[in-house]
Amino acid sequence: MNRIAYTSVFGLFLVLSIAGCQKNTLTTPTVPTGDNSEVSLDWAGTYSGVVPCADCEGIATTLSLRDDKTYRLSTLYEGKSTEPFVREGTFSWYDNGSKVRLEGIRDGADKYLVGEDVLFQLDLEGNRITGDLADKYQLRKMDQNGDSPLAGKKWVLLEMMGKQVPEGMGTIYLQFGENGNSISGFGGCNNFFGSYELKPGGRINLSGLGRTQKFCQGLSEMEDALFKAFESVDNYSISEDDMLSLNKARMAPLLRFELVDDL
């Protein structure tokens, strides 16, 4: 091989070598950066709610996620059983730290999307559940001493029995006390008061309801319907857009409220 040919071959070899190095550099995998639920949220804790059930009144669900990646899941099939079914095990993060999967569950929900103070139950493929009952597939975080996630909040009534509140009823609202278990509000004609109790699985009981005795022409009948609905409520849910639903078993919401800062 003459000197010119040798130089050409060496030059070609050098070009190919550099190209190969550049290709390897470009295809080297990188670790994703940025916040995700696993690293940016205070996700450890206990979550509770009542999710829909195909053949019962609802599944009262309480799920505890611990820092050591272990879980405790309690499910009670309302109307079918009186004792909860408890499972414990480990869980893992996947999908860039936004979802968790409960290991060892073969016959129930095992995937959850982790949000701020809420878990969204996912379908079998790990996707968000859609449809009219989508807001019910969520578990709300309870604080360490089990205090109410409703405490200190005020809600304005938007719908009753699936119908919008008629104009002329005024601003009907329900307010939960900052401390303790008191409730108060305005029913369209009278102020009212009472107490509430929260139970595992997103269940709620309103009791001791009383109201002032003012009579309002054309409003008293509507207010009576409101209090009748209060007496039937046995569970609640809060949507992502801060809508409170007070429900009876698996029925459509009896009452729907919107969170407000003040009236």
pTM over 0.75: no
CA distances, 131 to each of 57, 114, 135, 136 (Å)? 18, 20, 9, 10
Whole-number Å distance between alpha carbons of 140 and 95 = 21
CA distances, 195 to each of 16, 176, 179, 183, 204 (Å)? 79, 9, 12, 5, 11
Residue 2 has pLDDT above 70, yes or no: no
- Give ∠ CA 143-149-151 in degrees, rounded to 5: 115
Weakest-pLDDT range from 15-24, 114-123, 127-136, 197-206: 15-24
Whole-number Å distance between alpha carbons of 11 and 187 = 88
pLDDT digits (tens, 9 = 90+) for 71-104: 999 888 877 877 788 899 999 998 789 999 999 9
Residue 222 has pLDDT above 90, yes or no: no
Answer for the pair 67, 58: CB distance below 8 angstroms, yes or no.
Answer: no
Res 192: pLDDT:
92
Residue 258 has pLDDT above 70, yes or no: yes
- The mean pLDDT value for 3-13 works out to 45
Can you list the domains of the chain with their CATH numbers? 37-142 (2.40.128.640), 154-260 (2.40.128.270)
- The mean pLDDT value for 197-225 works out to 85
Output Rg (C-alpha) for the chain, integer angstroms: 28
Q: Return the residue matching tokens 């919008």.
A: 164
Whole-number Å distance between alpha carbons of 60 and 77 = 7
Looking at residue 118, its amino acid is V
pLDDT digits (tens, 9 = 90+) for 230-245: 999 999 988 878 899 9
What is the dihedral sign for C-alpha 126, 128, 130, 132? Answer: positive
Beta bridge partners of 186: 173, 191
Q: What are residue 9's phi and psi, to 5 degrees?
A: -65, -45
Residue 59 has pLDDT above 80, yes or no: yes
Whole-number Å distance between alpha carbons of 54 and 58 = 8
**64 Cβ contact partners less than 8 Å away, ≥ 6 residues apart:** 45, 46, 47, 71, 72, 73
Weakest-pLDDT range from 2-11, 135-144, 195-204: 2-11
- The mean pLDDT value for 6-22 works out to 44
